[in-house]
Structure 1
Amino acid sequence: MAGQEAITGFAVAVVREDGRWRCSQLDTGALAELDAAITELAKMRSTGAVFGLLAVDDEFFVIVRPSPRGASLLLSDAAAALDYDIAADVLDLLRVDPPEEDDDAIWPEGDLEILADFGLPGAELEVIVGEVDRYPDEQLLMIAQRCGFGDEFAKLLDEV
């Protein structure tokens, strides 16, 4: 798996508190290990919602939303579990079998309603995930714009 190689991309924590959005960069270790991403997000002190947006190697993205009853997750491409530990961890936590080695179909796995309370219903998120000609950072920017924190997200990406 890609765990032996350096993983490129970014991990962003998104916080909505008192009607305002805040985006901050997470440690890059969050790209390699799902537990690291969940732990970092869970440590963030906020009375509002906290979730993470992870773009991995220009291949796929993961949305992580920790809660007291466990993390809600969305993996943009289930087949990424064949090559990336973090994607395999997502499927494992979701109790979903990874696809077969020769299956090259792209489909999301997890909670498509993960951001519905921010104005992004599952059907729209599924359309964004289906934009396979776009890079994960472009898809995540579309998600950020639709939820209302596009400017904050874009500004942080410019700094990364």
Structure 2
Amino acid sequence: MPASDAVDFALAAYREEGVWQVAELAPDHATDVETLASALRRFPGDGGAVGFVAVDEDFFIVVRVAGPRTRVMLSDVTAATEWELAAIVVEHLGLPPVEDDDDPEPAGDLELLSDLGVDAMDLAAILDDDELYPDEMLSEVARGLGFGDLYDDVVGLTSA
């Protein structure tokens, strides 16, 4: 099965003239970090764009681009033992290969959204909630950034 078939959704969020915009991305844009970063660079956002990708209700990645800089966060490093995209992210981050007995933990740049309103502590608290699926975790992140309702509409979550 191609990696893009396991993608629950891929989207781009960016601010244009101070207003958040959210756009869906084709699952084919979520096959590796460079392809996703390239797709995100096409958006005209003030200060770059943020990409959210959720895979098979198992894990998610957040990629933020601003000019030539690409910042990446993986919600659960152990996903790299089962999913090619997660393994690609681990490799991109320069981390050692993940072993089956490793503990689930996030990897990468937990500060990538700090200047937008979700700092590393907020992100860690969201990631630590075992009751949430990846799309729900990303909804909490989007809410913290200021576009939770837009996010929920695009991915089909109903507000509680």
TM-score in terms of structure 1 length:
0.89
Shift of 1:3: 4.5
Shift of 1:143: 0.4
Match of 2:151 in 1: 153
Q: How many residues align?
A: 157
Distance 1:31 1:146 in 2: 23
- CA deviations on 1:36-57 (whole Å, 9 max, x unpaired) are 2111112223343311011111
- CA deviations on 1:67-118 (whole Å, 9 max, x unpaired) are 3343100000001111111111111111011321233x21000111111011
Unaligned runs of at least 5 residues, structure 1? none
Match of 2:47 in 1: 48
- CA deviations on 1:111-134 (whole Å, 9 max, x unpaired) are 111110111111110111111331
Distance 2:109 2:3 in 1: 29
RMSD: 1.9
Structure 1 segment 66-77 matched on structure 2, within 5 A: 66-77=65-76
The one-letter code matched in structure 2 to 1:67 is A
Deviates more, 1:36-45 or 1:105-114: 36-45
Match of 1:35 in 2: 34
- Structure 1 consecutive aligned stretches of length 4 or more whose deviation exceeds 6 Å: none
Unaligned runs of at least 5 residues, structure 2? none
Structure 1 segment 4-15 matched on structure 2, within 5 A: 6-15=5-14
SS at match of 2:69: coil
Of 117, 120, 126, the match for 2:118: 120
Identity %, equivalent residues: 32
Match of 1:101 in 2: 100
Shift of 1:155: 1.3
Match of 1:17 in 2: 16
Deviates more, 1:4-13 or 1:70-79: 4-13
